[in-house]
């Protein structure tokens, strides 16, 4: 005999619709297994209603909170490792695909020439930026008083120190949740 819908209905906490209730009662009259299950379930519910709550062992809350922070820290580390592995995998796959594309598209001599060209361009651009900044800084001091430089540089330095301190704190202690 198929007991599945009746077993589900026996353990259902919400009231059943009238047709299901009638089918269940009819089945319970015929099936001793389901009737025993219903009787056991009803007696268990009564037992749970009338039993008293047992208080936890002293210090349970503190131990649980300590273990909770440890579990959260372990989970954060596990997620960070997964993320780093994902990034490494994505970077490796991208590099492999790039090398494969380059092998099919260019000769090794073109790679070397392209790499040297890129290095030369980066060096030239860096030198150009350096010269522009140097010329601006060289022309500004006669027009800008020293106090203005102090007012500009001091907050910038304090913000940098604060930023470095915040990064250090987060990396050493983690972010606290309130």
**Extents of the domains making up the chain:** 4-49, 75-105, 107-152
- The two three-digit tokens of residue 58, written as one number: 């002293």
The C-alpha angle with vertex 94 and arms to 104 and 117, in degrees rounded to 5, equals 65
65 or 89, higher pLDDT: 89
User: What is the predicted pLDDT for the residue at 137?
Assistant: 77
User: What is the predicted pLDDT for the residue at 169?
Assistant: 82
Predicted structure pTM score: 0.34
Helices (H) and strands (E) in the chain, counts: 6, 0
In the predicted structure, residue 1 carries a pLDDT above the cut 60: no
Q: Quick one: CA torsion of 80, 84, 86, 90, rounded to 10 degrees?
A: 160
With 0-12 / 13-18 / 19 or more C-beta atoms within 10 angstroms meaning exposed / middle / buried, residue 60 is exposed
Segment 23-49 shows an average pLDDT of 86
User: What is the predicted pLDDT for the residue at 141?
Assistant: 65
In the predicted structure, residue 50 carries a pLDDT above the cut 60: yes
User: What is the predicted pLDDT for the residue at 77?
Assistant: 93
CB 64 within 8 A of CB 50: no
What percentage of the chain exceeds 70 in pLDDT? Answer: 93
Segment 44-60 shows an average pLDDT of 84
In the predicted structure, residue 139 carries a pLDDT above the cut 80: no
pLDDT band at 176 (very low <50, low <70, confident <90, very high): low
Distances (CA, A) of 150 to 136, 141, 156: 17, 12, 10
Within 10 angstroms of residue 6's Cβ, the number of other Cβ atoms is 20
In the predicted structure, residue 2 carries a pLDDT above the cut 70: no
Average pLDDT across the chain, whole number? 85
In the predicted structure, residue 26 carries a pLDDT above the cut 80: yes
Nearest CA to 23 out of 36, 33, 34, 39 is that of: 34
């Amino acid at each position: 005999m198929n007991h599945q819908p009746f077993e589900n209905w026996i353990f259902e906490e919400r009231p059943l619709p009238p047709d299901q209730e009638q089918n269940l009662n009819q089945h319970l009259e015929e099936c001793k297994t389901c009737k025993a299950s219903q009787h056991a379930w009803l007696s268990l519910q009564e037992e749970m209603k009338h039993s008293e709550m047992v208080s936890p062992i002293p210090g349970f809350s503190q131990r649980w909170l300590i273990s909770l922070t440890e579990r959260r820290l372990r989970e954060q580390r596990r997620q960070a490792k997964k993320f780093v592995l994902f990034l490494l995998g994505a970077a490796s796959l991208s590099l492999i695909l790039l090398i494969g594309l380059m092998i099919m598209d260019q000769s090794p001599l073109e790679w070397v020439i392209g790499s040297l060209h890129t290095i030369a361009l980066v060096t030239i651009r860096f030198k150009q930026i350096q010269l522009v900044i140097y010329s601006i800084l060289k022309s500004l001091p006669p027009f800008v008083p020293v106090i203005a430089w102090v007012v500009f540089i001091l907050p910038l330095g304090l913000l940098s120190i604060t930023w470095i301190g915040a990064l250090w704190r987060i990396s050493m202690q983690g972010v606290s949740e309130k």
